[in-house]
Amino acid sequence: MTVASTLIKARRMCLLWPTRAAGRAEGAAELRGDLACAQASKAGVLLSLGAHREASVLARQAVAVLKEEVGRTGRADLQQVLDWAINAFEEGPLGICRTTRG
């Protein structure tokens, strides 16, 4: 995957993420999942640029938060990003998320 294609895919995914802020507490919780989506996208870009260590740290954090938020909220958009992140990082040169399935 090239850097340009990764950026385009990340931008498309960001446009699909709804930001809901019905109340302060609920809005903050929703933003936590949205932030994890952004972190997953950034990790993909960093991996494409060869910054493997930074990508690894961000990817692991993002996947952990995404799993937690999907379990808590059941948001389909977060599940879609989680599936993409696990597949994208599993196939990468470092196999960042190989142990995160389950």
Determine the pLDDT at residue 91: 65
Return the CA Rg of the chain: 13
8-state DSSP, 40: H
Q: CA 2 to CA 6: how far, in whole Å? A: 6
Average pLDDT, consecutive stretches of 10 residues, N- to C-terminus, the chain (102 residues): 57 51 61 91 90 90 94 92 88 56 44
Other CB atoms within 10 Å distance of the CB of residue 51: 14
Question: pLDDT tens-digit profile of 83-99?
Answer: 999 888 876 555 665 54
Please state, in angstroms and as integers, the Cα–Cα distance from residue 90 to each residue in 5, 29, 30, following that order.
18, 27, 26
Q: Which residues of 56-69 are buried (b: 16+ CB within 10 A; e: fewer)?
A: bebbbebbebbbeb
- pTM confidence score: 0.68
Determine the pLDDT at residue 47: 86
Determine the pLDDT at residue 90: 78
